[in-house]
Amino acid sequence: MYLYSHLLDRLCYYMVYAVEASSMVEHTRQLVKQNGCEEVVTVLQGRAEEIELPEQVDVLVSEWMGNCLLFEFMVESVLLARERWLKEGGVMGPSSAALSLVPCQANSYYAEKMAFWEQLYDLDFTPLQRAFSQLFSLNTVLSHFSTTNKVTILPLALGLQLDMYTLQVKDLEEIKGQFHFRVEKSGVFHGSTAWFTVQFESLETGGATVELNTGPNSEPAHWKQTLFMLDRPVSVYAEDAISGTIRLRRNPVWRRHMTVTLHWSINSSTEETDNCQVGTKSFPMWR
């Protein structure tokens, strides 16, 4: 986490407080010294919510994001640091965040994990397929997914959005969002893929906002995307509507973990299927 003080219009003079809780702090100090930045950068070891600074700061920058945006809940430390050390009118980086969710067709992944058991070595392994399906569909999958797995569903909608200036620690206990999609062409609904974007507002008035996007159409990032698989694939048809809610609930004991619950309904546009199919499923990440 980096906190900047005495930040003027053109950054002609500033102080940086670099906060790190782990032993990595020693390497940080070495790098600061090696690059002649000791007069500008002060390295502090400790938790952001517990350190003491000589003054409040103008800018607070932190990489707190986890898989599916909130996993590990490092954002709590940032919010507590904001309340203690950010000046009124100060700048947060990121300043906002959004979690996107899109129903997806994951043919290759489903074939690899489930169809694999149907005729293994020319033997019938379907009893194991049924047993494995419960474990398979309960777990989330972190991977880079190609856009070809998502062409059946448009348009993309945001699951939930966070304002880093107004978000409170108590809000992290349970965060909800909604989604609504219209199927563009027929395909198979295997599950939903989630990823996040974060925005960094400019320090200059009228400056451009910078966005980090971890979605499938962006450069791969170590966060990847999160895949939530249904128990059974569902056929969908052009003009079907898929809508529902996503809920991120923090684990009351294992505070770094959470459970993601998806509730969805499919309103069919054809007479060949039920007019409405509904479902709910919870995914622990990781307890």
- Using only C-alpha atoms, the chain has a radius of gyration, in whole angstroms, of 23
Q: Which residues of 187-219 are buried (b: 16+ CB within 10 A; e: fewer)?
A: bebbbbbbbbbbbbbeeeeeeeeeebbbbbeee
Single-letter amino acid code for the residue at 59: V
3-state class percentages of the chain: helix first, strand second, coil last, to nearest 5: 20, 45, 40
Residue pointed to by tokens 């409040």: 56
From 50, 55, 63, 112, active-site residue: 63
For the question of residue 173 being annotated catalytic, the response is: no
CB-based burial label for 28 (10 Å; 0-12, 13-18, 19+)? middle
Residues 6+ apart with CB under 8 A from 180: 157, 241, 242, 243
Residues 6+ apart with CB under 8 A from 220: 144
Asked if residues 145 and 227 have their Cβ atoms less than 8 Å apart, the reply is yes
For the question of residue 174 being annotated catalytic, the response is: no
Half-sphere exposure of 271 (CA within 13 A, CB side): 0
Q: C-alpha 86: how far from its chain's center?
A: 25
The bridge status of strand 241-250 relative to strand 258-267 is antiparallel
From 72, 184, 201, 239, active-site residue: 72
Asked if residues 152 and 59 have their Cβ atoms less than 8 Å apart, the reply is no
Residues 6+ apart with CB under 8 A from 170: none
Give me the active site residues, please. Answer: 63, 72
